[in-house]
Amino acid sequence: MRFMILVKASADSEAGIMPSEELITAMGNFNEELVKAGILIDGNGLHPSSKGVRVHFSGAQRSVIDGPFIETKELVAGYWIWEVKSKEEAIEWVKRCPNPMPGDSDIEIRQIFSAEDFGAEFTPEARAQEERVREQAKKNL
């Protein structure tokens, strides 16, 4: 099972305050543990929302909204993608994570859809297309 682990933003991360050397070291050690356990697929920190944009969709219309965005609790400051056996295993790993922020913080765990989740609507043609896209995307790394 694949999960996206979302590190929620804080006032500090949105202000662009970089982590301390101690936190960088602790997170580096945690990431090494994830790699040794064979579960880390990807992960990165994100710049504050002031450097980002949102694209709003309304029918065929698109509009671009520049950051920063107000609701810090709704923003993401970083992520991992893990391959684990269960949500419970993901929870146990998150509990071992260093606190990613100087103060209180939250990490959200969300399962990533697999082909089986879509049922019959995910036709053999759509599955073949999905496989082609994934293979091409791997070449972009």
Condensed to tens digits (0 to 9), the pLDDT of residues 89-128 reads 999 999 999 999 999 999 999 999 998 899 989 999 999 9
Torsion angle, alpha carbons of 122, 123, 127, 133, to 10:
-90
**Cα within 13 Å of Cα(137), Cβ side:** 6
pLDDT per position as a tens digit, 58-90: 999 999 999 999 888 789 999 999 999 999 999
Place of tokens 């049922």: 119
Measure the CA–CA gap between 44 and 4, rounded to whole angstroms.
12
* Encoded tokens for 46: 């994100």
Superfamily of domain 2-139: Dimeric alpha+beta barrel (3.30.70.1060)
Q: Is the pTM of this model over 0.75?
A: yes
